[in-house]
Amino acid sequence: MEFETTNRDVLGRIGTLKTKSGVIEIPHLFPVVNPAVQPVAPREIREKMHCNAIMTNGYLIKNQFGEEAVKKGVHQVLDFEGVIAMDSGAYQILTYGEIKADPLKIARFEEEVAADIATILDVPTGWDANREYAEWTVKETLTRADQTLAALSRKDIAWVGPIQGGIYLDLLANSAREMAGKPFEILALGSPTQIMERYMFDKLVDMVLTAKMNIPFGKPLHLFGAGHPFMFAMAVALGCDLFDSAAYAIYARSGRYLTEYGTLKIDELQHFPCSCPVCTSHEPKKVKELERVEREKILAKHNLYVCLEEIRRVKQAILEGRLWELMELRAQSHPSLLQALKRLKLYQDFIEKHSPSTKKRGVFYFGSQDLSRPEVVRHRKRITENYSPPEKAEILLLLPQSSARPYHKSPEIKRNLGRQEDERIHACVYAAPFGVVPLEIDDVYPLSQTELVFPPDKETVSSVADAVVTYIRKNPYRIVVLVPEKEVWGKEIIEECKKICKNTGKKFALAKNSHTGKLINPLTF
């Protein structure tokens, strides 16, 4: 297997994964094909939906076809000429508690039927396991990994190493490090399905990023069971490259109609809010009147079209540098997703470190949830760690941000500065969402390439005030002069500046006469 990355945004990436039966473009969704029940035929998935890689269950194939599958190969059994990934049956353990299967026999079968990507028979932790059981699943999965790797005979199959530990992040981190040290071509996060079914997306953020922080970026990360399209953008932004889903078929059985923003019930639909080939050739009323099996087929096809369309939308967002915005848009679909988006604050430094530093397009800032986006975190970090004011600067002149950018060219800023060019005065702007912006660098990306909702919300104002305080504390100015803008910024920045100046022995003053409202020359202080 060969893995190559071509484009990145946040932690998401576009790349290629070469297997013996073809090339997969990541991020990629493997539609899961049940050999016994196929509402959408594998051939149709490839030829009409243009998806060249699917997943099936090795345990079920073995039980249903046995030696026939060994003789024909899984590609012929499923009538699919593309890439076939094979799960081992571990999900059945999660569902039924146990299965009668031997890890080495399952692995041998996956080799015999010539899967392109194969998974060892691991032991899923699940979402509600106690710690003792979770520890056992990690240990047992690692043991099975070593046994399976030692027994393999084919060199043309990409093997998947599942990471276990569930919500016990220390166990998950250890499992990720141990599995990453073994010769697996792909790593996978195990046990997330039940977490996602319960809409515990903040827990999923913890699990994915804990795994991501403990594996090399040179290996693809597979998220097992990521079925609903409204969470694909977030999963990719967190660094997941591959997904598998049977949800398109499972949801169809209960009459549920997927959209990129949520799930609808077919019985309640008067119009199809979609332009896929299924929805443009059928009417809800007539679909409801069909026999159950036919209705399921139609719904399954629509659901799969929507899933594949969302993956393409995510790819385009990566190319345009808009993955964060797409993730934020999808997060508005459900409170649990928005809660997960806010959870990213805990991991903002890691995300910033591994995100691209420049993009082809500017940044959209909608509100305080965007304070964790890499561009904002990166600027604040660089101002704190890498920036020093001009050598002769003694007076910090803090100006409110203007509507025009770059700030140093705006009429408001020019009016505030007047003709003052004294080297002792260093002019900076306090601006949402970045905090402090020195005028001499205000045209550096993304400071002048950001569009935002104005006036900023309360949380953003507080965050900017904190950034101003950090900047004043760090730098050796004697005097801080603030040009206030109370209508937009209120009194918080004024009060915080007063406080930090008092604590650090700096003189503080407002640059407007309290009676006339006119600007005062900073050199008079």
What does R_g of the chain's alpha carbons equal in angstroms? 28
Q: How far, rounded to the nearest angstrom, does the alpha carbon of residue 113 sit from its chain's CA centroid?
A: 34
d(CA 93, CA 72): 27
d(CA 409, CA 391): 23
Q: How far, rounded to the nearest angstrom, does the alpha carbon of residue 46 sit from its chain's CA centroid?
A: 27
Give the end-to-end CA distance of the chain in Å, rounded to a whole number: 68
The DSSP 8-state label assigned to residue 60 in this structure reads H
Selecting among 9, 79, 87, 370, the annotated active-site residue is: 87
Which element (helix H / strand E) includes 183? none
d(CA 401, CA 413): 8
Is the N-terminal amide bond of 192 cis, ω within 30° of 0? no
Instruction: Let me know the angle formed at the C-alpha of 236 by 346 and 144, rounded to the nearest 5 degrees.
Output: 90
Q: How many CB atoms lie within 10 A of CB 97?
A: 7
- The length of the chain is 525
Q: Determine whether 128 is an active site residue.
A: no
Q: What are the E-state strand segments in 341-446?
A: 363-365, 395-400, 425-431, 435-438
Closest CA relative to residue 242, chosen from 54, 82, 107, 59: 54
Please, are residues 251 and 229 in contact by the beta-carbon 8 Å criterion? no
Catalytic residues: 87
